[in-house]
Amino acid sequence: MGALRERMRESLELRGCRPNTVATYLGCARRFAAYFMRSPAELGAEEIRTFLVHLMRERKLSFSSQAVYVAALRALYTETLARSEEVQWLRAPKGSPRLPQVLSGTEVRRVLRAVRSLRHRAVLMTCYAAGLRVTEACSLQVEDVDSRRMVLHIRDGKGGRERYVMLSRRLLSFLRKYWRKVRPPGPYLFPGRGSTGRISRVMVHRTFRAAVRDAGLSRHVTTHSLRHSFATHLLECGVDVRVIQALLGHASIRTTTLYAKVTTGLIGRTRSPLDLLGTPRGAVLG
């Protein structure tokens, strides 16, 4: 689907989609075409339904992953092929969001210590210290580190939103050590060999998986778990959820409050009303 692929890319870029979104949607369309071994231009509503059932029953994709395919196919048929009637019936699947996978403080230390590369350890440490997405950390430029105001400038977050996050003193010390060793030649704090000039997020993901294995962790966690851990640990330390929302760059506070469901520290410190019965504090219970 060479020509069709380029038309879809152009449609998505004209809509203002982020590069990662464009790549993800193109991948979904490619797998849709490969499933039937035919161009999407020759397929319609029935094939779309069959493919989505395959994703749900055979591949057992999560609701969120299925929703990405739905969005990609809607974009393909509505904007690229101009056949919106084929996808008018499509709705994003509904399901309860999964609780984020959170590492304990001890586990974070074990994983970071297991990273042998100074550059990769600096990237992953930045993800946890500031709650960054991997793409945001990889895209940091040298001038984004403001040691005078002790903040990091996130230029191009999700949805193109800018924000500032705190600059950890321990992270700053490590970055200075990294700087003296590596001396990045270009604008990016973490340079890479690819065409973008910055470190590859794929390599960061691979390094993290290897570090998790070497650290002896058996459960499934990803680089995004560092961001989840950042938010959860702040909440457990008593930081206001609205501050955490701003640090994470969430558009809606509803997204941020999901972390309240996994803060076992706060849950464990919350007293049951049973413990208050017959005490002065329990007087408010009537």
CA-CA distance, 148 to 172, in Å (whole number)? 11
In angstroms, rounded to a whole number, what is the distance separating the alpha carbons of residues 55 and 57?
6
- The active-site residue, picked from 74, 121, 133, 201, is 133
49 carries an active-site annotation: no
205 counts as catalytic: no
d(CA 80, CA 70): 15
220 is known as an active-site residue: no
Residue 185 CB neighbour total at 10 angstroms: 8
Is 158 annotated in the active site? yes
Q: Is 222 helix (H, G, I), strand (E, B) or coil?
A: coil
Helix, strand, or coil here: 109? helix
Catalytic residue among 74, 120, 233, 250: 250
227 as an active site residue: the answer is yes
- Tokens 């101009």, residue located: 82
Q: Which of 158, 163, 205, 209 is catalytic?
A: 158
- Is residue 178 annotated as a catalytic residue, yes or no? no
Q: End-to-end alpha-carbon separation of the chain, Å?
A: 70
Indicate which residue of 74, 119, 227, 228 is catalytic: 227
Which residues are annotated as catalytic?
133, 158, 224, 227, 250, 259
